[in-house]
Amino acid sequence: MKIRKVVIPAAGLGTRFLPITKVIPKEMLPLLNKPAIQYIVEEAIDSKLDNFLVVISKGKEAIENYFNSSTYFDYLLKEKQQTHLLSGLSNIIKSAKFSYVEQKQQLGLGHAILMAKEYIKEDYFCVMLPDDIIVSDNPGINQLIEIATKTKSTVVAVQEIPLEFVSSYGIVSIKSKISDNIFQLNGLVEKPKKLAPSNLAIVGRYVISNKIFSSLEKISSTNLSELQLTDAISHMLQNGEPVIAVKIDGERYDVGTPQNWLRATIELDKKQKFNDNNLNYKITKSIEVPDYL
């Protein structure tokens, strides 16, 4: 099986970044000189994914304009013979196809994924959340694709977290250990209030069976205020779809809050300097992460 499609849910209101998100989508906030969503798109392209469906909402047109090479800005650069300044982005636009669908009401991540139902014709597809940036030699989503392809299973990325934070995450319940980093699951719980089944938290990378759409439709009729993706994956699992969790190899930066976004920016700056100097990294040139973050 060949997995080529990725759904990027980007329709959320981004309330934790208000007031800036009143006019700038959270996914377009820059980490250094690139918007958060570009890091996700680059990770996907490095994993041979080339069909993107971005779930957006009103006011998020900046995302569409960004991944479009026929804007007035592109025209001006052409006039000035400076198109090379945008070559990195132009290569992304050339190597992938971008489509958009609107989520009219923000009824949760699961509901955002349901908007992709018409777009996904294949058995398996990827979901990547622009709130999580993963830096790794083997791109984060590729680590999942490798396992999904071998096992024909739904695969979720997880990370060990301190027990006191489990109530803020989707947490997996392990049925059996396949290896040190790979687990067969028997359940998933969204933000467990007490007695979490493990300290393995779901991070924003998934390879999902298209059976998810009927699970989403089934559980959406139970009149929940927010349709959770975790609950739909759990429903799919109870109905026979194998679900595997993979401890992601690499560093994850949560960019969903202003403080974490700043921390990620500083860490990415350090990494960039490290790479630019080709192992001749001078720490004095970088900003240090302040203690209070």
Beta bridge partners of 67: none
Q: Given the structure tokens 């052409």, which residue do they identify?
A: 78
Nearer to ligand UTP (CB atom), residue 172 or residue 183: 172
CB of 52 to ligand UTP, least distance (A): 14
**Nearest residue by C-beta to ligand UTP?**
12
CB of 5 to ligand UTP, least distance (A): 17
Nearer to ligand UTP (CB atom), residue 15 or residue 179: 15
Cβ proximity of 256 and 131 under 8 Å: yes
Q: Distance between CA 261 and CA 28 in Å, rounded?
A: 12
Please state the φ and ψ torsions of residue 231, each to the nearest 5 degrees: -65, -40
CA 281 to chain centre: 29
Cα separation values, 207 from 21, 76, 146, 190, 233, Å: 29, 40, 10, 18, 11
Peptide bond into 19 cis (omega under 30): yes
Provide the residue type at 90 as one letter. Answer: S
Task: Assign 252 to helix, strand or coil.
Answer: strand
Residues that bind ligand UTP (CB under 6 A): 9-16, 26, 55, 103, 106-109, 111-112, 129-131, 256
CB of 189 to ligand UTP, least distance (A): 16
Nearer to ligand UTP (CB atom), residue 109 or residue 196: 109
Q: Distance between CA 139 and CA 144 in Å, rounded?
A: 9
Beta bridge partners of 171: 189, 201
CB of 175 to ligand UTP, least distance (A): 27
Nearer to ligand UTP (CB atom), residue 70 or residue 225: 225
Nearer to ligand UTP (CB atom), residue 150 or residue 191: 191
CB of 60 to ligand UTP, least distance (A): 9
CB of 2 to ligand UTP, least distance (A): 26
CB of 46 to ligand UTP, least distance (A): 20
Instruction: Fill in the DSSP letter of residue 20.
Output: G
Cβ proximity of 36 and 28 under 8 Å: yes
Cα separation values, 213 from 115, 196, 227, Å: 9, 26, 12
Nearer to ligand UTP (CB atom), residue 55 or residue 243: 55
Nearer to ligand UTP (CB atom), residue 45 or residue 107: 107
Nearer to ligand UTP (CB atom), residue 71 or residue 99: 99
CB of 113 to ligand UTP, least distance (A): 8
